[in-house]
Amino acid sequence: MLKGLTRAGLGTIGSDEQFLKLASDAGFDSVDLSARALIEQYGEQGAIELLQRYNLRLGSIDLPVEWRADEEAFLAGLPALTEAAAAARKLGCTRCCTYVLPSTDQKSAHFMALATRRLRLCAQILGAYGIRLGLEFVGPHHLRTAWKHPFIWTMQETLDWIDAIGEPNVGLLLDAYHWHTNSLTVADLENLKPHQIVHVHLNDAKDLPVEQILDNDRIYPGEGIIDLPGFLSALHRIGYADFVSQEILTPSTPTESPEELVQRSKNGYEKVFAAAGL
């Protein structure tokens, strides 16, 4: 598996190049950031060279389309999606992800129909560029009632939704936090095929009853109670060999320096990967 970083959890880093340098210095294999922004800043050739210089790959870009609001907002994002996909392709990035909130102010069934159509189109466009779309189910219990109507939050619901979307390039973004807050087990992971997983997020949870765990209160891998060795070794066992990106959502920006935070992340990764026998 490839160890990766997102900016989430690393404090105030500054430029993308600084982010790349930090990740590279700490021995990470990949970063998740906007390919399009990288090319806009450094040019296509410059961006490619930057990634080569720091020996980093791009794990995933974020889906730059507002598929949760109204139709005008959705359509307004499609030109940017084609540009984002073209940029990702130029930088060898083949993954694009979005998260699925577990409740909604819209009528659930109707919103599911709208979202199915919208995400299918996103997947179709991404597929033309050789990019897969990862859907992240979101487990924390408080979000299930944060908006008026329940939507979906379990892995099985998300797999069923992926079937309903029906495109070959759609799969899961599997986040350890949501695996934990859904009370999923190692056996649940072992039922997956590796190509059902588009991307993986790594982070840890405080020692709280699962119902009390907040979405933006995550901690560094190895510092909490999630069975990350079980999580990682199960992924390895089923043949998943791709990116595992840290994403630490916190209530406020950490005050340590990015260097300290990256080091902490590195230590966490080493600890849990070692415990997983990887």
161 touches a copy of itself by CB under 8 A: yes
129 touches a copy of itself (CB under 8 A)? yes
How far is the C-alpha of 172 from the C-alpha of 185, rounded, in Å?
16
Q: Which tokens sit at 97?
A: 């992800």
Say which DSSP state 118 is in.
H
By CB under 8 A, name the one of 73, 109, 208, 274 that touches a copy of itself. Answer: 109
Contact residue for a copy of itself among 52, 168, 187, 209 (CB under 8 A):
168
Among residues 226, 110, 251, the alpha carbon closest in space to that of 174 is found at 226
Among 25, 105, 160, 211, binds a copy of itself (CB under 8 A): 160
163 binds a copy of itself (CB under 8 A): yes
C-alpha 209/C-alpha 227 separation (Å) is 15
Q: Which residues contact 113 (CB under 8 A, 6 or more apart)?
A: none
Q: Which of 107, 183, 190, 237 binds a copy of itself (CB under 8 A)?
A: 107
Q: Which range in 51-59, 154-162, 199-207, 270-278 contacts a copy of itself by CB under 8 A?
A: 154-162
- What is the C-alpha to C-alpha distance for residues 217 and 181, in angstroms, rounded to an integer? 12
- What own/partner pairs with CB < 8 Å and gap ≥ 24 does 72-75 have? 74/118
| DSSP category for residue 204 | B
| 98 lies in the binding site for a copy of itself (CB under 8 A) | no
Shortest spacing between CB 190 and a copy of itself, in angstroms: 15
* Binding flags for a copy of itself, 56-95, as an x/- string (CB under 8 A): ------------------xxx-xx-xxx--x--x------
Stretch that binds a copy of itself, among 16-24, 34-42, 187-195, 214-222 (CB under 8 A): 187-195
Structure tokens, 235: 């992924």
Q: Residue 278 interacts with a copy of itself (CB under 8 A)?
A: no
> Which runs of E-coded beta strand occur in the chain?
2-5, 30-31, 57-58, 61-62, 95-100, 103-104, 132-137, 149-150, 170-175, 197-202, 243-246
Spatial contact of 135 and 171, defined as CB atoms under 8 Å apart: yes
Of 231-260, which residues contact a copy of itself (CB under 8 A)? 239, 241
Total residues binding a copy of itself (CB under 8 A):
44
Instruction: Kindly state whether residue 125 participates in binding a copy of itself, applying the rule CB under 8 A.
Output: yes
Dist CA 84 CA 63 (whole Å): 8
- The encoded tokens of residue 187 equal 């056996």
Output 53 or 237, the one with its CB closest to a copy of itself: 237
**Residue of the chain from 157, 188, 217, 259 that contacts a copy of itself (CB under 8 A):** 157
Q: 243: left (phi > 0), else alpha (psi -120 to 50), else beta?
A: beta
Kindly state the tokens that stand for 252.
Answer: 């406020």
Beta-bridge partners for 4: 30, 245
Binding test (CB under 8 A) with a copy of itself, winner from 111, 147, 185, 206: 111
Q: Which residues bind a copy of itself (CB under 8 A)?
A: 74-76, 78-79, 81-83, 86, 89, 107-114, 116-117, 120-121, 124-125, 127-129, 149-152, 157, 160-161, 163-164, 166-168, 193-195, 239, 241
